Copies of this chain bind each other. A is one copy, B any other.
Amino acid sequence: MALEVFHKDETLQMRRKLIGQSCRLFFSRDPVKIVRARGQYLYDENGMQYLDCISNVQHVGHCHPSLTQAAAAQMDLLNSNTRFLHDNIVLYADRLAATLPKKLCVFYFVNSGSEANDLALRLARQYTRHHDVVVLDHAYHGHLISLIDISPYKFRKLEGQKEWVHVAPLPDTYHGIYREDHPDPGQAYADTVKSLIDEAHKKGCKISSFFAESLPSVGGQIIFPTGYCKRVAEYVREAGGVYVADEIQTGFGRVGSHFWAFQLQGEDFCPDIVTMGKPIGNGHPIACVATTEEIAAAFTANGVEYFNTFGGNPVSCAIGLAVLDVIEKEDLRGNAVRVGGHLKQLLLQLQTKHPLIGDVRGVGLFIGMELVKDRASRKPATEEAAHLVRRLKEERIVMSTDGPWDSVIKFKPPMCFSIEDAERVCTCIDQILRDSISSNTDSFPSNIYYKLAFNEQFFFNSFNFR
């Protein structure tokens, strides 16, 4: 198979003509053409290697041969739909069930995280007979019409907030209303959800569900304070609603210590619905909703079939099974603990040297490093984060930002990321931050420097990607 059919310029020209421009490119002024990948490494058309720090979808590493083999073997045998009996779907559901608390034992297979969240919303509404939804500020739950409605990150830029959507503060102890010095931020943030529900009730609204990523990623790689989810779930259930844990970014062992990020909140917390996506098929379009027997029964009781043409087909399930096998066989959760822990330590060390680094947070291979103008005000260093991403690209390291101000450098690499990779990227960050300081000091007052370095076009396109 040819690695390249067109010269990069021609590819870019065709892309601009043929593909909707709403579909953006990384580094739009000088986009990268990737033709090959393996593990945590990407290769451009000239054979240059890039270290990939952000492709959480390619969870077990790019182009893992076990997955190619599993896909090809099943493609050669059968790819049908779920109206015929097949072993793969039940084998796969059974394997997923083993990773979850017992009560999450009924599965629906779909094609994308967005489809999973849309179905979760249908399930929640059908079960509770309530309509309204509580979401976290800055949340992103998908690109579908129904999900833009429950994604403040999107609806603020588009149609605005619907009357049935209630936005709770992001429990961010670095920037939020309750910070790390609060005696019980978990309770305090949960109480904001309770207040929001009470307000909604006063208006006659009924809460169907609370939707939250188990670790808000677009929100800025946020780690929930202890006790938050359990308390929120209590409040939401008291209101007749259900707790939907969006594990699309965070599931499948990314946090290392646990298979699901919601499990970080302790064994006494269990969501009512869990949605899965991105890493589930290592890039193959598959996603899933797990729920309880009661919720599934309520959905069945409406008497209407749920049919998803491609969802749960034998090939998708074969790939899903192979991903689970690789996670286990290669101890990728162990690797996330070891490498993620080391990476976080290295970043904390950098924090002691560079005042720009305001916060380092994360768990396993889900880590955020937040840049600030100064540590007292915690004013987001947005331009500096963009500069760092651009400079890292020159060092052939693919990185991106997140958070409400795009000031959080986010690490969510393939799970085979190594100690050496972590050291390399931290060495580069150290050097870039040192260079920036010296060039700032030597020649530019800080804000002029950034005005020169980042025109709006670059700015708009070089980060802010989820």
In this complex, what residue of B is CB-closest to A289?
B20
Q: Mark each residue of chain A from 64 to 76: 1 if its CB lies under 8 Å from any CB of chain B, else 0.
A: 0101100111111
A21 contacts partner chain B, Cβ-Cβ < 8 Å = yes
Q: How far is the CB of A464 from chain B (nearest CB, A)?
A: 8
Taking a contact as CB atoms closer than 8 A, the residue among B3, B22, B306 that contacts A23 in the complex is: B306
Assess whether A83 is in contact with B26, with CB atoms less than 8 Å apart: yes
Assess whether A304 is in contact with B158, with CB atoms less than 8 Å apart: yes
Q: How far is the CB of A161 from chain B (nearest CB, A)?
A: 15
Residues of B within 8 A of A85 (CB): 8, 11-12, 15, 25, 31-34
Measured CA separation A146–B159 after assembly (Å): 15
Assess whether A6 is in contact with B306, with CB atoms less than 8 Å apart: no
Measured CA separation A5–B314 after assembly (Å): 13
A331 contacts partner chain B, Cβ-Cβ < 8 Å = no
Residues of B within 8 A of A157 (CB): 302-304
Measured CA separation A178–B222 after assembly (Å): 61
A353 contacts partner chain B, Cβ-Cβ < 8 Å = no
A208 contacts partner chain B, Cβ-Cβ < 8 Å = no
Assess whether B77 is in contact with A143, with CB atoms less than 8 Å apart: no
Residues of B within 8 A of A32 (CB): 84-85
Assess whether A62 is in contact with B78, with CB atoms less than 8 Å apart: yes
Q: How far is the CB of A109 from chain B (nearest CB, A)?
A: 8
Identical subunits present: 2
Residues of B within 8 A of A285 (CB): 111, 284-286, 310-311, 313, 316
Residues of B within 8 A of A20 (CB): 106-108, 291, 296, 299-300, 306
A294 contacts partner chain B, Cβ-Cβ < 8 Å = no
Assess whether A111 is in contact with B115, with CB atoms less than 8 Å apart: yes
Measured CA separation A310–B316 after assembly (Å): 13
Assess whether A307 is in contact with B465, with CB atoms less than 8 Å apart: yes
Measured CA separation A302–B91 after assembly (Å): 44
A144 contacts partner chain B, Cβ-Cβ < 8 Å = yes
Q: Mark each residue of chain A from 47 to 60: 1 if its CB lies under 8 Å from any CB of chain B, else 0.
A: 00000000101100
Assess whether A18 is in contact with B106, with CB atoms less than 8 Å apart: yes
Known: A15-B90, A18-B106, A32-B84. A307 touches B144 (CB 8 A): no
Known: A68-B72, A80-B55. A310 touches B283 (CB 8 A): yes
Assess whether B21 is in contact with A296, with CB atoms less than 8 Å apart: yes
Q: How far is the CB of A94 from chain B (nearest CB, A)?
A: 6
A403 contacts partner chain B, Cβ-Cβ < 8 Å = no
Among A84, A86, A146, A302, the most chain B Cβ lie within 10 Å of the Cβ of A84
Residues of B within 8 A of A73 (CB): 1
Assess whether A146 is in contact with B144, with CB atoms less than 8 Å apart: yes
Measured CA separation A63–B310 after assembly (Å): 15
Selecting from A35-43, A354-362, A367-375, the interface stretch reads A35-43
Residues of B within 8 A of A3 (CB): 77
A163 contacts partner chain B, Cβ-Cβ < 8 Å = no
A82 contacts partner chain B, Cβ-Cβ < 8 Å = yes
Residues of B within 8 A of A19 (CB): 82, 89-90, 93, 106-109, 312
Residues of B within 8 A of A311 (CB): 112, 285
Measured CA separation A114–B310 after assembly (Å): 11
Residues of B within 8 A of A76 (CB): 63, 65, 68
A118 contacts partner chain B, Cβ-Cβ < 8 Å = yes
Measured CA separation A18–B64 after assembly (Å): 28
Q: How far is the CB of A202 from chain B (nearest CB, A)?
A: 25
In this complex, what residue of B is CB-closest to A80?
B34
Taking a contact as CB atoms closer than 8 A, the residue among B6, B14, B105, B307 that contacts A466 in the complex is: B307
A201 contacts partner chain B, Cβ-Cβ < 8 Å = no
Residues of B within 8 A of A466 (CB): 307
A29 contacts partner chain B, Cβ-Cβ < 8 Å = no
Known: A84-B26, A307-B466. A71 touches B74 (CB 8 A): no
A sample of 6 more A-B contacts (CB under 8 A), given A21-B300, A112-B309, is: A15-B90, A18-B97, A18-B105, A62-B78, A113-B309, A285-B311
Closest 4 CB pairs of A and B: A285-B285, A22-B306, A18-B93, A14-B90
A-B contact pairs, 24 of them (CB 8 A): A1-B74, A15-B90, A18-B97, A19-B82, A19-B108, A20-B107, A20-B300, A22-B300, A25-B83, A25-B85, A26-B84, A35-B87, A36-B77, A57-B310, A58-B80, A71-B75, A112-B308, A112-B311, A115-B144, A121-B145, A143-B306, A285-B311, A285-B316, A307-B466
